[in-house]
Every structure is written in C-alpha cells, then in structure tokens.
Structure 1
C-alpha cells in the first residue's frame, strides 16, 4: 500500500513538471514572436529619402536668410542718430528749465526834480533800460536824458554785453555815447565801458562802471539801491549815486577826485508790477569843473533835491 502511494505521488509530480515546462515554453515563444513583429516593420518599411533631404536642407536656408539680413552697422547708425537726437532734446529741455530761456524786460522812468538853491531850477529826467537774453548772456541798452530849464536836452546811451561770472554777478563791457548840444565843441563823445552788475550783500542792487574816453577822460561811477517793504505795495528805496573823476584833460574838464554824490530816498506805490508812481527826496554834492579855454572854474555846491515821477515796467 505504501508503495502504491509513493508511485502515485511520483506520477503526480512528474505530470505537474511537464505541464509547467510546456506553459513556460509557450510564453517564451509568444514573447519572442511579439518582439519579432515589433522589429519587422522598422526593417521592412522603405525610407523616404526626399523628406530626409528636405530636413537636411532646411538649416542651410535659415543660415542664408541670416546672411542676407540688413547689416548690423546700419541699425547701429540709426540707433546712434536717435540717441543723439534724444540727447540734444534733453539738453535743450535742461537749458530751458535751468536758465536757458530768453527773456526781456524794459523799464521806463520819468521824473520832475527841483533843487532848493536861489535859482530853484527844475529838471526833467528820463531813463530807459532794456535787457534781453538768458541768465548767462544778456544785452543791456540804457538811455539817460536830462532837460534842465533854459538848457537843451543832453543825453547818453550805453550798449552793454553782460556775462554771468558768479552767483548774482555779471561782468559787462560795451560803449557809451554822449551828446551835449549846450557845448560849442566836443558835443559828441564815445567812451569804452567796463562794469559790474549784480546784487551786493544785504540785497543792494549795484552797478559799478569804469569809463575811458578821449582826452584822458577816466571816471568811475557807482550806483546802489535797496528796497525796504512797508507793505506789499508801499516800498521805500534808499539809494546812492557817486561819481569819481580819475583824470580829465578835455575842453570841459571836471575836477579830479570825488566829483559828485547824490544820496536819497525814493518812496513808491506799486499800483501793480507795471505801473509805479513815486516821490523822491535827495541830498546832492557837486565839486565843480576846472577852468579851461571853453569854460570858467566853478566851486562846489550842496543842494537838496525833491521831485515826483512815474515808472513803467513791461
């Protein structure tokens, strides 16, 4: 009985091994057949060499397109031109915003003035000043006329170039023309002018001029003034006008040294920034003239002046 059982167990084991071997061989054969089918199309499908040729030519076309593109330097020139144009525009805008703009201002003043001496002569004084230019460079035109009673009008005109040399200060150079029809000779004269125009400390507006003319006529003139506000419209302005003669060998020579001084106070009322009536009160000193073939010597005089006037600005 034990022998029969062993025989049965051996038979069953052999059958199982046989069945498992056939299944493994069948799966291996199926896997090999599947891999063969997958490789077969790639080996048997003919290649389209025309497509391959097109794909290989395409990069060359791109390279040729890059070669016929516009030269790089032309593009850079246009960029440089645009950059320079922008720079010029920015420079012009900078000048306009920081003192590069051109402006103009004209002041016209007329004053009737009398003195307190025995004769009590009156004089009509008129002044015109025009300036045009930028903060750096300007042209000044100044005209001054005096008409004393029983005398003809005498006047002088200055044409000055003004250049900014420091904050609040301009250096000026130009010419002055003088005309005095009351003289018998030398009625017309021309002088060279060198000056300084600006704002002195404590807001004193100052003009200092050196005049050099014919017949060794050399003189120095100083004018300074300051505004003191009583109200926004009522303004008091003390001023000083001084003339020093350094040398004069002309036919109508003035005495050397401090030749004339006028110290005064002007009180004006500004109706607006364009119309300003005023009153003037001043003390004056005049040293006189030398004796020549065309005039008699005169002594020094001290006078008190008073007057009224009106000033226009536009």
Structure 2
C-alpha cells in the first residue's frame, strides 16, 4: 500500500466528534491591498476629527450658507463696497526706492530699443539697357531717430548715358509711427530736374501692408499750387534663402497740366518692374531684371512732341545695399 499523507491518516483515525475547531484561531481571509495613505503605523483611534482645522482649504467661505442653500458668492446682490486697490505695475518698487527703479527702467528701455538708430537703404541703383539709348536710375532712403520719431531723407531720379540727369528729387520728412507697421510722414520735396525746379509740401504714409507688401503713398503741393500724387508698392518673394524675386510698381498722378515740366493731368506715368536679386550678404545683393515705363495721356503727348518714346522697356542690372 502506498503511504498516505500524514494529515489524511490522522483525519481517518480521529472520530468526527473529536474534530472540534471552535477553539482554533483561523486567520481571516486576505483583503485586497489598499493604497498607501501616508499614515501607516499611526493610531487614528484617538484623533478627534472635530478638532481638525479646515479653515486653510475654505478660508473666506461661509460653509453654513452653502449647506443651508442661502445665496453666496456671485449669487449675492450687488453691493457698494469700495473696490480693492489696484496692484502695482512694478513689483520691485515694493523692495527698492521708486526713483531708483524708474531710472533703471529708463536705462533698460534705452539699451533695448529706445536709443537713436539709423538706416540707409539703396533699393535701386541700376543701369538700364534699352532701345535707342541706355540710362540709369536710383531710389534710396535713409532715416535717423527712434522707434516713434525719425528724420527721413529720400531721393530718386534717372538719366541717360549721354544726356545726363533727366529727373532728380530729394525729400526731407518728419516720420512718426502711427502703428506697429506704418509711419505718417510730412515735410518738403524739391525737384532738381527737370527745370524749372519746384518745391512741394509733402504728406504721406509708408509701411508694411498685410501679406508683406511694402507700400508708400504721398501727396505733393508745389509752391506754384500744383497738386500731385504718387503710389509705390513692392513685394519680396523669397525663392531660396538667398534668391529673392521683387515685383514693383510705381504710379504718378497730377491734378492738372504742368506744361513747364511736361506733365499732364490724371495718371501721368507708370513703371512696372521685376527684379531678381542674389543676396551675397543680407546687406549686399546684386540683381538683374526688366522694367517697363509708360507715360499716359497728356504726358505721353508732351513726350511725342519732344521726340521721345512714351513707352520704353529696359533690361536692368544693379545692386541693392543697406547698412
């Protein structure tokens, strides 16, 4: 016979009546593990929950009103209590003398953009190859000042290789920022060529329009009472990190005929150009392109009478510089 386990042998040999387990201590069934609370080993039986200070979590709350259903918080009717004091703009003024902190802030603003700055931008400096006679053209601008107020100088003109300068002007303007992207400008413009020379009172706006269009609009009132206007716009389309395509348009208008300067009323002239530049450096970029100029209306008739072609197409090559 195979040997039975000792426990089974004892169970068979012991009478059923003798198997009294009433005095045996049986372990309680295992309970699922509970998450640790941080109070293991602490005797919680002596703690009086009524003595616990609950004010930290409910400071300023009327718990009795909440439990009773009475109006509380924003449900209360409007009162006439004085408003709390406004917070200080500069927290450091609580710890340091206000005068010292004001001087430190002024110095920080000067060093972080409030100081005077300057820029010179030669947007167009080119030679023009066209049928009949070659020419040249320039368009430049410089300014000095701060973020809000600036002195702006502009000049532009053109000429022919053998005939010299045909048109040239210079403007001196006060420029004031009227927003993050636009400056309002006012000052004087003087036309050196063509003769007779003219001086104009000038008012205009210049800035960055939505979709990154650089725009400029100006109105001119001459010392002879002539009223003129000009609109310019261009857009820099970056093809690569260094290659930039720039379409450009300029429109000139006049309110009346100016026979002495061979300018007719209405839209007197328009120029449209397309220039492709390569930025050897951000501040230095040679370019090539094409430019189309047309005189309109009475201005075109003046040009024909003088033996000039009112419409010209030019291949251009030049350089764009700023510093």
Q: Structures share a fold, TM > 0.5?
A: yes
Q: Which residue of the partner structure matches residue 193 of structure 1?
A: 202
The 3-state SS of whatever aligns with 2:282 is coil
Q: Is the contact between residue 300 and residue 310 of structure 2 (CA under 8 Å) also seen in structure 1? A: no
Which runs of at least 4 in structure 1 moved beyond 6 Å after TM superposition?
297-300
Q: How far apart are residue 291 of structure 1 and its match?
A: 8.2
The 3-state SS of whatever aligns with 1:277 is strand
The 3-state SS of whatever aligns with 2:109 is helix
Q: Which residue of the partner structure matches residue 145 of structure 1?
A: 157
TM superposition score normalised by structure 1: 0.65
Q: Is the contact between residue 258 and residue 264 of structure 2 (CA under 8 Å) also seen in structure 1? A: no
Distance 2:260 2:317 in 1: 34
The 3-state SS of whatever aligns with 1:212 is strand
The 3 A distance-change label for structure 1 pair 271 and 126 is: same
Q: How far apart are residue 132 of structure 1 and its match?
A: 1.5
Does structure 1 residue 228 correspond to structure 2 residue 243? no
Q: How far apart are residue 141 of structure 1 and its match?
A: 1.0
Query: Structure 1, residues 125-174: CA drift from partner, whole Å, max 9, x if none?
Result: 12332112112111111122322133232421111111011220110001
Does structure 1 residue 103 correspond to structure 2 residue 122? no
The structure whose Rg is larger is 1
Distance 2:322 2:294 in 1: 30
The 3 A distance-change label for structure 1 pair 299 and 245 is: farther
The number of aligned residues is: 225
Match of 1:158 among 156, 171, 174: 171
Indicate the larger mover: 150-159 or 244-253: 244-253
TM superposition score normalised by structure 2: 0.63
Match of 1:206 among 215, 218, 224: 215
Unpaired segments of 5 or more residues in structure 2?
Answer: 1-95
The 3 A distance-change label for structure 1 pair 271 and 297 is: closer
Unpaired segments of 5 or more residues in structure 1?
Answer: 1-80
Distance 2:155 2:161 in 1: 20
Distance 2:273 2:158 in 1: 18
CA RMSD of aligned residues (A): 2.7
Q: How far apart are residue 268 of structure 1 and its match?
A: 0.1
Does structure 1 residue 168 correspond to structure 2 residue 175? no
Query: Structure 1, residues 145-204: CA drift from partner, whole Å, max 9, x if none?
Result: 322133232421111111011220110001111112x64xx2x32111101000111110
Q: Which residue of the partner structure matches residue 251 of structure 1?
A: 260
Distance 2:150 2:198 in 1: 25
Q: Which has more helix, going by share of residues?
A: 1
Q: How far apart are residue 91 of structure 1 and its match?
A: 3.0
Q: Which residue of the partner structure matches residue 138 of structure 2?
A: 126
Distance 2:155 2:262 in 1: 23
Q: Is the contact between residue 244 and residue 256 of structure 1 (CA under 8 Å) also seen in structure 2? A: yes
